[in-house]
Amino acid sequence: MHEMSLAEGVLQLVEDAARKDQFKKVTAVWLEIGQLSGVEPQAMAFCFDAVTRGSVADGARLEIIATPGQGWCMACAKTVPMTEVFGACPSCGSYQMQVTGGTEMRVKELEVI
């Protein structure tokens, strides 16, 4: 379950921000997860809850924002939506696809007190 190490990384970012900006408590975290990132949102939520216990983000609400997959088709020269990394172009059926979006995961926003 790689979501556990990802959740630990998110917590590290949150704790670094808390030290830098001198806030005491995080009440919510907005996390963008790309559809093609390989991150399972439910597993991420479970792991986030586990790793934040006893931290500045203990009890924080995790809001997951799903971002769509996107790719460039080399055959028809179009930017198209993608639902899987090695999928075919929905326009022409070619498998000559280059993923251009939806693989990322980032902390978008924090709600703090």
Place of tokens 């709600």: 111
pLDDT tens digit string along 72-99?
999 999 999 999 999 999 999 999 999 9
Is residue 1 very low, low, confident or very high in pLDDT (cuts 50, 70, 90)?
low
Instruction: Give the orientation angle of helix 41-51 with respect to helix 3-21, to 10 degrees.
Output: 50
For residue 105, which amino acid is it? Answer: M
Q: Mean pLDDT across the chain, nearest whole number?
A: 97
Task: Please report the pLDDT score of residue 69 as a whole number.
Answer: 98
Whole-structure pTM value? 0.89
Res 63 pLDDT > 70: yes
**Which domains, from first to last, does the chain contain?**
3-112 (3.30.2320.80)
The number of residues making up the chain comes to 113
Structural contact between residues 82 and 71, judged by C-beta atoms closer than 8 angstroms? yes
Provide the phi-psi class of 98: left if phi over 0, else alpha when psi is between -120 and 50, else beta: beta
Res 31 pLDDT > 80: yes
pLDDT tens digit string along 36-58?
999 999 999 999 999 999 999 99
